[in-house]
């Protein structure tokens, strides 16, 4: 079973530990997650299309990399692990990851404190086929148009991130 550290609202302290299934379904259990926005050197943003088999938001476009921080794991280690698992990128040094923003997700399903970094990388990438259906770079003007015309193709979290942090 996978366990997550439970943290305070402001993310300053670990106050316990709970299993993934317990955290997902109990929004009182605040846990940590990570996301990485991968930009091509030309400025385009890499997105992943979540597998249709995913329980949550299957078939929708999302950040290229995202996942939970396991109990006892450091945030940077979680980012390195998720990069390798989801798109096949191995990082040797942390300076490749640039802090981007922190965001809190609170809904009826879960409560997450998310740390997001940005990475510039042109590929090649290797998809984790069980979780990722497609990987594609999008220009920022293209994302603005899709946000206006077909917002339903994005996960609610990515919609929020595009509006609040990326397409300003």
Cα–Cα distance, 159 to 103 (Å, whole number)? 13
**pLDDT of 43 higher than 80:** yes
DSSP β-bridge partners for residue 5: 17
At residue 53 the predicted structure's pLDDT band, cuts being 50, 70 and 90, is: confident
pLDDT digits (tens, 9 = 90+) for 3-32: 999 999 999 999 999 999 999 999 999 999
Exposed e or buried b per residue across 94-125, where buried means at least 16 C-beta atoms within 10 angstroms of its C-beta: eeebeebeebebeeeebbbbbbbbbbebeeeb
Which domains, ranges and CATH numbers included, belong to the chain?
A: 3-137 (3.90.79.10)
- In contact, 8 and 30? CB cutoff 8 Å: yes
Taking the CB of residue 142, how many other CB atoms lie within 10 A of it? 12
At residue 128 the predicted structure's pLDDT band, cuts being 50, 70 and 90, is: confident
pLDDT digits (tens, 9 = 90+) for 71-86: 999 999 999 999 999 9
Confidence at residue 94, expressed as pLDDT on a 0 to 100 scale: 64
């Amino acid at each position: 079973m996978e366990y997550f550290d439970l943290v305070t609202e402001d993310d300053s302290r670990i106050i316990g530990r709970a299993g993934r299934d317990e955290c997902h379904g109990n929004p009182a259990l605040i846990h940590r997650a990570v996301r990485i926005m991968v930009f091509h050197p030309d400025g385009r943003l890499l997105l992943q299309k979540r597998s249709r088999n995913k329980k949550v938001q299957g078939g929708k476009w999302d950040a290229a990399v995202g996942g939970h921080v396991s109990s006892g794991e450091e945030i940077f280690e979680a980012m390195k692990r998720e990069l390798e698992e989801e798109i096949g990128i191995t990082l040797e040094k942390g300076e490749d990851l640039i802090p981007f923003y922190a965001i809190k997700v609170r809904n009826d399903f879960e409560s997450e404190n998310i740390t997001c970094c940005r990475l510039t990388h042109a590929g090649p990438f290797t998809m984790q086929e069980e979780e990722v259906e497609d990987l594609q770079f999008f220009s920022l003007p293209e994302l603005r148009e899709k946000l206006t015309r077909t917002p339903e193709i994005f996960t609610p979290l990515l919609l929020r991130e595009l509006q609040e942090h990326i397409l300003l």
